Amino acid sequence: MKAEAEARKRAAGSVDVLGTLGVVLRDAEDTPFALGFRGSTASTISGFLKQIPGMSLTAENVSQFVAGGSVAQVQKQRTDLISMIGKLIPTILNDTSGRYSDRDVALVKSAQGALKPTANVETLRGAIQALATAELMSRNRNLVEGGLAPDFDLTTDEGQRRLARVLKTMGFENEAAVSIRDDLFLVQRLGAAFNGER
């Protein structure tokens, strides 16, 4: 009973993380100018200019010219991105509860590139997919280890459709959803093979 309660508790945290990742991905696709060198440069220069009395309009113009968006848009997107990914990565990498496997940690390490000045929407999409996949794998594994059924049995059509609906609700669509599903399916099949299932 205690193992089930702990498994449910660990699994519940994944839902919030996945929803937030979906929002960050949608925002990044809507405002790609906030990422990488352009966003970093616009944020730094316009932030400096806004500190000088009478230079707010110049700061807006610089932000529009360099990043293609307003100072507020660039700052919000960068803050959301850094906050979400910047907090989630250390949380997973420093976790000692056993919630995350070595594969989860490897996926998360690959997501660190989203915070670099060379990042773009493709880099961020890959990072968010890696983080979402790690969260979903962790969630399913914790449910199974707690004696509960996994959320998604991806060996069935219904399980795949259910996962697709959940990913769409959380903001993951098209290629992102397919990539996450494929990664989860592979892990589930490998786990079944190692456990002697067919």
* Structure confidence at residue 30 (pLDDT): 74
Dist. CA 182–CA 188, nearest whole Å: 10
* Structure confidence at residue 111 (pLDDT): 67
> Which SS3 state, helix, strand or coil, does residue 151 take?
coil
**Smallest Cα–Cα separation from 4: which of 153, 142, 188?**
142
* Structure confidence at residue 193 (pLDDT): 53
Q: What is the pLDDT of residues 142-182, one digit of tens each?
A: 777 778 777 778 888 888 888 888 888 777 777 778 888 88
Range of the domain at 63: 2-194
**Smallest Cα–Cα separation from 70: which of 46, 54, 88?**
46
Q: pLDDT means per 10 residues in the chain (198 residues)?
A: 66 65 74 76 85 87 84 81 70 66 69 71 77 78 77 82 82 77 77 53
* Structure confidence at residue 198 (pLDDT): 45
The domain total for the chain is 1
Dist. CA 135–CA 100, nearest whole Å: 8
Cβ neighbourhood burial of 6 (10 Å; 0-12, 13-18, 19+):
middle
> Which SS3 state, helix, strand or coil, does residue 66 take?
helix
Dist. CA 121–CA 30, nearest whole Å: 10
The DSSP 8-state label assigned to residue 32 in this structure reads G
End-to-end CA separation in angstroms for the chain? 28
The DSSP 8-state label assigned to residue 53 in this structure reads T
| CB of 135 closer than 8 Å to CB of 12 | no
CA dist list (Å): 60 to 27, 73, 79 = 20, 11, 18
CA dist list (Å): 74 to 33, 36, 38, 90, 171 = 7, 11, 10, 24, 21
* Structure confidence at residue 15 (pLDDT): 60
